[in-house]
Amino acid sequence: MMTGAYNPGLVALSVLIAIVASYAAFNLSERVSATGGPQRWRWLASGAIAMGAGIWSMHYVGMLAFVLPVPVLYHVPTVLLSLVAAVAGSAIALFIASKAIMRRADTATAGVCLGGAIGSMHYVGMAAMRSAAMHHYHPGLVIVSVIVAVAFSSLAASLAFRFGRSSQEFTWMKLAAASLMGTGIASMHYTAMTAAYFTLGDPPPTRHTVEVSTLGAFGIGTTTVSLLATVLIGSWIGRRLANERLLQRLYRDLEEREGKIRRLVDANILGIFFWNLEGEIAEANTAFLQMVGYSREDLVSSRMRWTDLTPPEWRDTDERALAAVRATGAVQPFEKEYVRKDGSRVPVLVGAASFGGSGNEGVAFVLDLSRQKRAEEALHRSEAYLAEAQRLTHTGSWAANLVTREILHSSEEHSRLYGFDPERDAPSFEELVHRIHPDDRPRVIGLAERAGATGSDFEAHFRIVLSDGRARHVYGVAHPIVNASGDVGEFLGFVMDVTERKRAEEERERLRQVQAELAHLSRVTTMGELTASLAHEIKQPIAAAVTDAETCLRWLARDRPDVEEAREAASRMIKDVTRASDIISRLRSLFKKGPPQRDLLDVNEVIHEMVALLSGEASRHSIAIRCELTNDLPKTMADRVELQQVLMNLMLNGIEAMKGFDQAGELAIRSRLEDGQLVISVSDTGEGLPTEQRDRIFNAFFTTKPHGTGMGLAISRSIVEAHGGRLWASGHPGPGATFQFTLPR
């Protein structure tokens, strides 16, 4: 077995190379971690080459430091293969160490890859030796050397990950770690060298081999150190350039942020001012100055202080805000008031933050709430007006979801109508339903459910039973609210108290019945006054019918009956009986008692009926009746009996006014269409109507007749007005008076 010796200088050089390579690995790991994209891969490739070359150089310098008593050559292809193994292992280790997160498994993987690469590089490098000395290995020491390589490689990967996150160029901690790593790598090499022993053998082949002298070994080491130094300098320059670029980007970002802040301040969207705890305002934008009514000259001359802008009653609020700024550096927006320069006040919303450090300075953001406050006041006034209007009209509003039976809103008057305290929360759906009269409840609930299902409007008249047993008549209307998706569930509605209206309607109905009774009584009374005339009117056609019947019998009783003459007599008899029957039918209708029944009537036809009925009375007093009726008048919706009563009252009044005159009187009845209405007039040639009595004659119980009741014209006017018309009296040149009334067409 052959023995060799170590060159101390080369041993020291190999350790130095290992330390420098470790230090370079830490720096390169930082550059790979700090960059991204293509530049990251460039740094990874150059770092792997530099680090692998450093480790490779350390091992070859270490092998050259071992001097054997025989010449030693090195096979160049095998040497290059060992270099590839070193570079590949370094690339894997750098890639893992530059990851954002490094787990224990990553550390172990990097250690195995780099340690395996170092071991492969060493033993491949040993295989590159060509000499008469044959090398052999102690297996146990070989295993120990591999374990040492893996252990120190894992430590190197962990340290590289740690220092890869450091932003400092040089630290003693990094140098110490590099020294430890370099010593560890050298220890692995010399442990592996200890595992080898040499024996004398045959002369080696010299093809593709070179001899490396001690001077060459120093040259390799020096070149490697220079290369690593160049890499370190390049890494330092790259870091400096990256830092400068980072600073430039930060400056640009800062300028952009300052520009945005300046645009925010100058945009005058809201008031902004810079303050200090002494009460001074260092700067303010135009929006704030306009808000408080000060000029920029006031600001520059220090005549503005934020403490002076605060009214006395708001100073406690300011103190609490300052306490929050001191404690947390900011205060949430709060409402207060500022005093303007002219003494008026402006409501504002203020938020503030300090600039850090001592917290004596900061910025405040101020929003003018004047418009919002005016809108709130207008809303409050509107709500108050609405509530008062609802109270005066006994109308309450509500909103509810008829599907879920949830009451969303109940106005004060709505709650009051149902007998609930308006100061409490809105009554529930069940409470409202419970107050509906039991007889009306199923109908109202059914209407609400159908409206909720179909999304349609609904209305209902129903009764509410209060807690004290009193009942209210109400009228309710609801309208669906369609949401954005087209669904219907919520309804908005109102309920109106119509109890008084219901009572008024009942009273009107009672008065109408009384009026109908009076009208019927008036007709019956009038018929009683016309007994003689009506009896004559009925007796005349009956007597004529009897005469015609006797004549018919005589024509039939002759030896040779004259059928033609008998037929003519019978025809006259039929006409006379029909005439009597018509008179009796008209009398029956006037005597008939029943509710009004309106139909489409021909006014001229009604006039002819009354002329036929009263012609006898007029004839008794030598009064002629003349009709001037417009043909083809439109029909009107009216009650026939009531219209007959009006005409009868007016015609009888005219006949009464012309009694006792020596000359014959005339009663003129006219009809026409004027301004879209039917106009009927009754004129007489009597003694006339004094001007002062034209309005009084329509008052109840006022009469100009010796035996009159004073009810005829009052009833007639109420009948005409109930039909939507008007009745009045007027004089005209010459004797007599005219009464006119209108009816809608």
Enclosing domain of residue 740: 597-745
Backbone angles phi, psi at 329, to 5 degrees: 90, -5
C-beta separation of 149 from 115 below 8 A:
yes
Domain membership flag for residue 254: no
178 and 56 fall within a common domain: yes
Domain membership flag for residue 131: yes
- 49-58, 156-165, 252-261, 296-305: which is most confident: 296-305
What was the pLDDT predicted at 218? 46
What was the pLDDT predicted at 586? 57
Among the residue ranges 218-222, 287-291, 436-440, the one predicted with the least confidence is 218-222
What was the pLDDT predicted at 214? 46
What was the pLDDT predicted at 165? 47
What was the pLDDT predicted at 441? 92
733 and 659 fall within a common domain: yes
C-beta separation of 671 from 633 below 8 A:
yes
Domain membership flag for residue 250: no
- Pairing, β 133-137 against β 196-200: antiparallel
Domain membership flag for residue 632: yes
- Average pLDDT of the residues in 160-172: 53
What DSSP letter does each residue of 586-608 carry, written as one string? HHHHHH------EEEE-HHHHHH
359 and 386 fall within a common domain: no
Among the residue ranges 2-6, 237-241, 302-306, 626-630, the one predicted with the least confidence is 237-241
Q: Where a domain ends, among 170, 204, 232? A: 232
117 and 219 fall within a common domain: yes
What was the pLDDT predicted at 83? 75
Q: Phi-psi category of 568—alpha, beta or left, where left has phi over 0 and alpha has psi -120 to 50?
A: alpha
pLDDT, greater one: 281 or 228: 281
In angstroms, the CA 362 to CA 328 distance is: 13
Tally the domains of the chain.
4
- Three-state DSSP class for 665? strand
649: nearest Cα among 593, 709, 696, 600: 709
68 and 178 fall within a common domain: yes
pLDDT, greater one: 422 or 663: 422
- Average pLDDT of the residues in 522-532: 54
Q: What angle do CA 337, 340, 341 make, to 5 degrees?
A: 155
Q: What is the mean pLDDT of the chain?
A: 77
pLDDT tens per residue, range 396-406: 999 988 878 88
491 and 603 fall within a common domain: no
404 and 356 fall within a common domain: no
Among the residue ranges 471-475, 549-553, 589-593, the one predicted with the least confidence is 589-593
pLDDT tens per residue, range 212-256: 554 444 445 455 555 545 555 555 555 555 556 556 677 777 777
Q: How many CB atoms lie within 10 A of CB 486?
A: 7
pLDDT tens per residue, range 324-357: 888 888 899 999 999 999 999 999 999 999 886 5
- Average pLDDT of the residues in 628-636: 91
Domain membership flag for residue 476: yes
Domain membership flag for residue 519: no
Q: Where a domain ends, among 309, 339, 368? A: 368
164: nearest Cα among 276, 261, 286, 40: 40
Percent of residues, the chain, with pLDDT higher than 90? 15
pLDDT, greater one: 715 or 184: 715
What was the pLDDT predicted at 164? 47
Domain membership flag for residue 34: yes
Q: Where a domain ends, among 316, 334, 368? A: 368
Evaluate if residue 595 carries a pLDDT over 70.
no
C-beta separation of 648 from 526 below 8 A:
yes
357 and 414 fall within a common domain: no
144 and 121 fall within a common domain: yes
C-beta separation of 64 from 217 below 8 A:
yes
82 and 227 fall within a common domain: yes
> What b/e sequence results for 366-396 when a residue is b if at least 16 CB atoms lie within 10 Å of its CB, and e otherwise?
bbbbeeeeeeeeeeeeeeeeebeebeeebbb
pLDDT tens per residue, range 361-370: 889 999 999 9
Q: What is the CATH number of the domain that holds 651?
A: 3.30.565.10
Evaluate if residue 742 carries a pLDDT over 90.
yes
Q: What is the CATH number of the domain that holds 400?
A: 3.30.450.20
385 and 454 fall within a common domain: yes
325 and 413 fall within a common domain: no
pLDDT tens per residue, range 479-526: 988 776 667 768 899 999 988 888 888 777 676 665 555 555 555 555
Domain membership flag for residue 584: no
- Average pLDDT of the residues in 2-26: 73
pLDDT tens per residue, range 178-195: 676 677 677 777 777 777
Q: For residue 153, what are its two tokens? A: 């490689």
